Chains A and B, each alone.
Chain A
Amino acid sequence: MPVISYIDAVTQALMEEMKRDPRVFVLGEDVGVRGGVFRATAGLIEEFGADRVLDTPLTESAIAGVSIGAAAYGLRPVAEMQFADFIMPAVNQIISEAAKIRYRSNGDWQCPLVIRAPYGGGVHGALYHSQSVEKIFTGVPGLKIVMPSTPYDVKGLLKAAIRDEDPVLFFEHKRCYRLIKGEVPVEDYTVPIGKADVKREGTDVTVISYGLTLHFALQAAEQLAQEGISVHVLDLRTLVPLDKEAILEAVAKTGKVLIVHEDNKTGGFGGEVASIIAEEAFFELDAPIKRLCGPDVPAMPYSPPLEKEFMLNPDKIATAIRELAEF
């Protein structure tokens, strides 16, 4: 299998889905001639022309709203928010419209839309190019929220998202774009939305994570294996709909749970995961559920020591795992 980068997996998925289905088109700021500021849509305009690889005006609400109209009509728009931080003007369209179209019309209308957005920090992006925004949407039924961590999952899940009948927010960690590489099959495949994935088997502590921090957790697990601590790592991959079964299974493996995400702790998705575990796996627990998250500050600062302080890393995660292992 060829080894490709996380962002190449995005591009390949778009390319293949646009070839497969003429209803698929991409739109966003700089997605056309420039091929995206991160180059995720590179090569698409040459292949499919400017109408299907649409450079929009600098208007996030319009990108979402126009996509919703086209999706309701019957097309398969894949919209790009240049940075997840800039999704805010589109939140009304996403939450009031996309999430509710099927429900409010009693199933008469649908909104098969994908909104891709690069999120996350560790790239010197400062406050407005580093945010994790998933918690704004995870409490909004009607939306699906996908946050893959590996090239294989990116490609399979993006294809699944494009083929899905409901609106999907597809958050791509921008630090992973060129850092994370992995094997991806040449043949067409999808990864089902709503299924978590065990990325490492272990018996002492269970780590539940997604995105960049999942990789940090895997690195920490590798480090701890040498100390005799066996770490089980579950990659949620999809936050909504959530794979509760997989979470409960992973909890039962060790009875000790560390939930890790870059989004800040208060109101972060880890709270939801922890609640489910407390409600449904109480008698599996051998230690208090622990969360390791971004700090509760408004956003990630620019200055390197401040950014480093905000960001999680394998050592911070290893320390937290060690504490649980010793408990």
Chain B
Amino acid sequence: MATDIKMPQLGESVVEGTIAKWLKQPGDRVEKYEPICEVSTDKVNAEVPSTFDGVMVEIIAQEGETVEVGQLICRIETEGEGAVESKSAAASAGSVAPAAQETPKAKADTAGDNSNKHRYSPAVLRLSQEHGIDLTQLQGTGKGGRITRKDVLKAIEQGGTQPAVATAAQVPVPEAPVAPATPAAAPAREAVTASTTPAAPAKTGVVLENGDREIPVTGVRKTIAQRMVQSKHEAPHAWTMMEVDVTGLVALRNRLKHEFKQREGVNLTFMPFFIKAVVDSLKEFPQLNSVWDGDRIILKKDINISIAVATDDALYVPVIHNADEKSILGLTKAVNQLAEKTRAGKLELKDMQGGTFTVNNTGSFGSVLSAPIINAPQAAILSFESIVKRPVVFGDNMFAVRDMMNICMSLDHRILDGLMAGRFLKRVKERLEAYGPDSQI
């Protein structure tokens, strides 16, 4: 069989050699260690010997030709045993040829693996903060679902992320009639996530004039802004209002308030009555006690009422959990406790979580009409306006001076239609009008 003879490496650093002269021609017998050609390189000139017995069959590299180390120069027909082993022995320097290709390991299948989704590199954290990127909204392309620097850069290029749905931090809300924002039925994991970083809002190009003052929009303010925009943008708001005659309720409260104060040590306000009316009505209309979740509506089992509590610089929306299990007294105490905690700055995370419906006492500052923004993802928000004495037609063609109050409701039209909302509101109205000076609480 014919064996390939390759250009040997003649010295360190040598990568090629020039055939100076062939000492054997095709047909010539070649003995082991007999020189077959002369090769010159940058470093040495040498005779290249055969490493086995045989007959020269073909010269590949001609005299004067420069050949890379490891390239074929001639073929020798070998004889008898050892031919095969000689084949590999020939020009062992051929091993300096580039290292054999090592097939790279197959890429590990990481599809569906999200183990690194929340492992953020320093670069990712820095970029997300500098550009207001909400990392929870990004899909990671790295190993284990890790969000890579490139993922963030891509998000920045595409204009940033949308604000997150809801968070559980103490989020001050703007004054009514804007709805407070608290986590409603957000899953627990979301609920403990730190507040989202809002995307940088677009500037409108307002020109500052003499005397104008600039107030930087802080992170908190930004959050509020963003969430209100989101609620208004995502939830189609429908609005409805009813007039409620609370003359009886007013009389009842007037009768009870001194005694109540003495006995319980707290003021008896209208708020517990409002809440109670809402809670009892929600039981009748569970669709109002629900949240929107994309492709489904979730009816909440618990009735947790978010209430707005004002402080000097902000408004908080703590939650009365299981409000349906509480009496007027129980609700009074719950409202008072949350109000005190809020003003003392001692609200805990649990006080802020889990609201399913929001009650807003806008009447406390004199409003008679408001259009609140829904505390997403809740289904509706209800404002109780100021109680004012008004002449109304009463009974049969009589005028009377009555204590009147408007109640205003914004509802998510994806969840509710006007009929259901109207029925609910009507039941709230009826419950409040049912109170009389002698009602038991």
Contacts and interface: CB of A to CB of B under 8 A. Distances in A.
A315 B100 CA distance: 9
B104 A204 contact: no
B105 A319 contact: yes
Interface in A136-188: 174-175, 177-179
B148 A178 contact: no
A327 B116 CA distance: 10
Given A39-B43, A315-B101, A177 B13 contact: yes
A304 B126 contact: no
Nearest to B99: A313
Interface in A219-239: none
Interface string B14-48: 11100000000000000000000000001100000
Interface-centre pick from A7, A39, A129 (highest chain B CB count, 10 A): A39
A124 B42 contact: no
A95 B374 CA distance: 76
A123 B96 contact: yes
A129 B121 CA distance: 42
A123 B12 CA distance: 5
B11 to A, nearest CB: 9
Contacts of B42: 7, 39, 178
B301 interface: no
B123 A315 contact: no
A37 B41 CA distance: 13
A12 B81 CA distance: 51
Nearest to A121: B12
Interface residues of B, number: 31
Interface of B is mostly: loop
B13 A311 contact: no
A322 B146 contact: no
Given A285-B122, A326-B107, A315 B102 contact: yes
A-side interface size class: 35 or more
Given A38-B43, A326-B142, A315 B13 contact: no
Interface string B92-133: 010110110110110100100000000001111110000000
B283 interface: no
Interface in B70-104: 93, 95-96, 98-99, 101-102, 104
A220 to B, nearest CB: 10
Contacts of A319: 102, 104-105
B342 interface: no
Contact of A282 (B9, B122, B124): B122
Contact of A326 (B43, B95, B122, B143): B143
B123 A311 contact: no
Given A204-B150, A255-B123, A283-B126, A327 B142 contact: yes
Given A124-B96, A129-B12, A175-B13, 20 more contacts: A7-B42, A39-B42, A118-B13, A124-B9, A124-B93, A174-B13, A254-B149, A255-B121, A255-B123, A256-B149, A284-B122, A284-B126, A285-B121, A286-B123, A286-B149, A315-B101, A316-B102, A319-B104, A322-B104, A326-B143
24 contacts: A38-B43, A39-B43, A123-B12, A123-B96, A124-B12, A124-B93, A124-B96, A174-B13, A178-B13, A178-B14, A203-B150, A254-B149, A255-B123, A256-B149, A284-B122, A284-B126, A285-B121, A286-B121, A286-B123, A322-B107, A326-B110, A326-B142, A326-B143, A327-B146
Interface of A: 7, 37-39, 118, 122-125, 129, 174-175, 177-179, 203-204, 254-256, 282-287, 304, 308, 311, 313-316, 318-319, 322, 326-327
